Amino acid sequence: MNIDIFPSGAFPKERHAAFKDHIGDGWVGDETERFFRGRDLADVTCETLSHEYKEVWWAAHNYLNEEAYLFFLPAFLKIALKDYLVNEGARVLADALAHGFFRMAKGEQDHRLLPILRGYSREQLGEIAQFLRELSRDRYKPVNDCDDAEPALELFWKQYLN
């Protein structure tokens, strides 16, 4: 997987990272806002999330608003593949992402799918498809694990494979 094709740098400090209705909740919305707002994409790693994000880090992507989700999704994809074999949280993250992409493919998460389709190039969409292929082939299939990645790929995302 090649995340170098995605923009790099820091998420703008003047922009909210969490959904507006979660900011001020004294819980995950505030923590998502604190952790991601102004953060450099390169600084979102399994290590920083597991040590600095004070809530359930593998679910943090669920609380990111549209703009922040698009910006930080490459980091989550990288963590899910790179750290899958060595970190339980990365495995849970991979499962959550695969399930989300499967739900997008079934038309159940247009609030995530439509911004991805509008905001990413065909090449970047291909990296999501590649993520799903690698996750299914290299992580799920060898251990016969529950696999949402393959049906997500087959239903929708494979059209973006190179």
Question: How do the residues of the chain divide into helix, strand and coil, expressed in percent and rounded to 5?
Answer: 70, 0, 30
Give Cα 81 to chain centroid, integer Å: 11
Q: What is the pLDDT along the chain (162 residues), one digit of tens a residue?
A: 788 999 999 999 999 999 999 999 999 999 999 999 999 999 999 999 999 999 999 999 999 999 999 999 999 999 999 999 999 999 999 999 999 999 999 999 999 999 999 999 999 999 999 999 999 999 887 656 679 999 999 999 999 998
As a whole number of angstroms, the distance between CA 100 and CA 95 comes to 8
3-state SS string for 1-57: CCHHHCCCCECCCCCCCECHHHCCCCCHHHHHHHHHCCCEHHHCCHHHHHHHCCCCH
Beta bridge partners of 10: 40
Query: What per-residue confidence (pLDDT) applies to 51?
Result: 97
Cβ atoms of 19 and 29 within 8 Å: the answer is yes
Query: What per-residue confidence (pLDDT) applies to 3?
Result: 86
Tokens representing 83 are 């750290």
Query: What per-residue confidence (pLDDT) applies to 144?
Result: 65
The model scores a pTM over 0.75 = yes
pLDDT in tens, 123-151: 999 999 999 999 999 988 765 667 999 99
- Cα dihedral 138, 144, 148, 153 sign: positive
Residues whose CB is less than 8 angstroms from the CB of residue 131 and which lie 6 or more positions away in sequence, other chains included: 1, 77, 80, 81, 97, 149
